[in-house]
Amino acid sequence: MNNPLLHSFDTPFTAAPFSKIKNEHFKPAFEEAIALSKTAIDSIVSNPEIPTYENVIDAMEFSGDTLDRISSIFFNLNAAETTDELQKIAQEVSPMLSEFSNDVRLNLELFNKIKTIYLQKEQLNLTGEQLMVLEKIYIGFTRNGANLDKDQKKKLRKIDTALSKASLKFGENVLAETNAYQLIITEEEKLAGIPPTAIETAKALAKEKEITGWVFTLDYPSYIPVVTYAKNRALRKEIAIASGKKGFQKNEFNNEEVVLEIVNLRHKRARLLGYNSHAHFVLEERMSETPENVHAFLNDLLEKATPTALKQFKELQDFARKDGIETLEKWDSAYYSEKLKKELFNLDDEMLKPYFKLDNVVAGVFEIAHKLYDLNFEEIFNVDIYHPTVKTYRVTDTNNKEIALFYTDFFPRKGKRNGAWMTSFKNQYIHKGVNSRPHVSIVCNFSPPTESTPALLTFNEVTTLFHEFGHALHGMLANTTYPSLSGTSVQWDFVELPSQVLENWCFEKEALTLFANHYKDHSPLPMEYIDKIKELGSFMEGLQTLRQLSFGMLDMEWHGKDPAAIKDVKSFELEAFKNTQLFSDTAENCMSTAFSHIFQGGYSAGYYSYKWAEVLDADAFAFFKETGIFNKETATLFKNNVLSKGGTIKPMDLYTAFRGKKPNNKALLKRARLIS
């Protein structure tokens, strides 16, 4: 079989040849790429020469590029364009990858060579980046069992294989539950309050499914208009409960046992490696360093946010009582928040959406990237795509030098998981004098165009686009030698800084005037709307902060102690939420069984990092505000000290090089109006 995944890509920009890649290519490609990588490792181990940085560390860093490329393509497709067949392949190849990873990490001869170099590091005259790679590899080995005995290594292999399967199963169950649900409405009066574009989309979906009426789903652009605008409380309740019970129903997709399996496996793994808990293991390589520091950070914010959150909750309750709602429930929160926002500011998402045509917002974020970092974006049509709605862009600097290949994938579909994320199909690195540039992608689930309107974004979707584009800039502007330190390969509680800081531009008049124009008559977003958008930045922020803190605390509870005694997922979750819960519990719902960030994504013992990064981003943007949001000198500092450096320098050192001082949470608390 002629397998395109196993050849150099003879394509523009060496982009992935999606049209030539078939499902049957993946497993043989993985098998061959793993074999190639094993051969490369074997040659390092069997090399009779004295171990040197070049023949061990450099050789390792560039030994698995074929496997890395295949993995990127496969797992990105499995997230954005999956099928039953791809999911089956994922279940087959994930254990193979875990086994290979363990073959490397538990290879004693290889580790001894690395250790030899590590113990000589002070005498080797290494660059800062070389030293960081060496330390990362050495610590990576010790953190993954290199010092274990034979029996312990065998246990670790079993745990890692089981974890990889359980994590995949968790995600498949959530996706299956999401796809299985549909809210069918046949009586038009029940649609009252739901925006026309959402109704039109629901009508089109019903037609596609050959159903009479309107169909709403748990996909974000379909779900949010119902819970935010539907006047019919029963509809809001039905779809909210359906969303909240993903993975918590008595069916084949129940995730309760999967959750318990994952947390117990993670804890056993951590203990085997000599750590008190999974959180202790994870946080050793985070800016926060220890679970105690994370708890102190979360509790400090909780103490400051709770009075404001309670005040805002009462305000919302009192407002809902005017409608005869005596007890405010979870499915009332978005609806009455939106109504209160409309009353206080005379502004809502539906008034703003006409000014946020997707194409204009994309052009706007490109223009902002140009003003800040001298980047140019040109849409191109000679690169393969994996779905007809995906677009590709050539990214260059002011000298027309290639910076990156950029993919965008914006609309929901059956094979795409919910949420929004940035990823890459190819990392940046420098090898043999060639600076190989990255292929970066952002994937979202925005409201699609309808027959009568183009794709129009809610303001929340605008900030989401900016957020993911901030991650993309981190990937695009990478300029490091080693792929393992490139772009977003930084400590996890630092990775959200570039994304969250860019969201701030959405609230600034100078930026909004670049792209916020009415899709029909091109009139600019009215000044009073801009002023209100700035005020809205802190609307119900106490409640939002409490919500985010509750997720971070739940994550730490799952991963900060021995979970062996936990028998009931829901009871454990309720106990974890006791200091942050404002709404009464819904018996049919459970957060953990669909908490993909920590049970399928990379955020286990790390969900707090969103808030941690908010402290960094508020402090960083305060600097931009002081100097001007398009100040080239400040932008260059951020580009050179944060965006281009990847993981070559410790995050706090990168941040202080940019800011001139360490961050504090004052800017965040002021921005959220949690302090005056």
Active site residues: 468
Q: What beta strand segments (E) does 485-604 contain?
A: none
- Give the integer Cα–Cα distance in Å for 7 and 28: 13
3-state secondary structure 71-119: HHHHHHHHHHCCCHHHHHHHHHHHHHHHHHHHHHHCCHHHHHHHHHHHH
- Give the integer Cα–Cα distance in Å for 499 and 178: 27
Residue 537, both tokens:
């930045």
- Give the integer Cα–Cα distance in Å for 634 and 504: 15
The DSSP code sequence of 168-188 is: HHHHHHHHHHHHH--EEE--G
Question: Order of strands across the sheet with 402-409?
Answer: 376-380, 391-396, 402-409, 439-443, 421-426
Residue 211, both tokens:
């159903």
Residue 660, both tokens:
């001139």
Backbone angles phi, psi at 194, to 5 degrees: -70, 135
Contact partners, residue 7, CB within 8 Å, separation at least 6: none
Overall size of the chain counted in residues: 676
Side chain identity at residue 204, one-letter code: A
- Give the integer Cα–Cα distance in Å for 650 and 502: 21
The SS3 of residue 408 is strand
- What residues are paired with 453 via a beta bridge? none
The SS3 of residue 405 is strand
Q: Where is 395: in which H helix or E strand? A: strand 391-396
- What residues are paired with 406 via a beta bridge? 393, 440
The SS3 of residue 457 is coil
Enter the DSSP assignment of 585: P
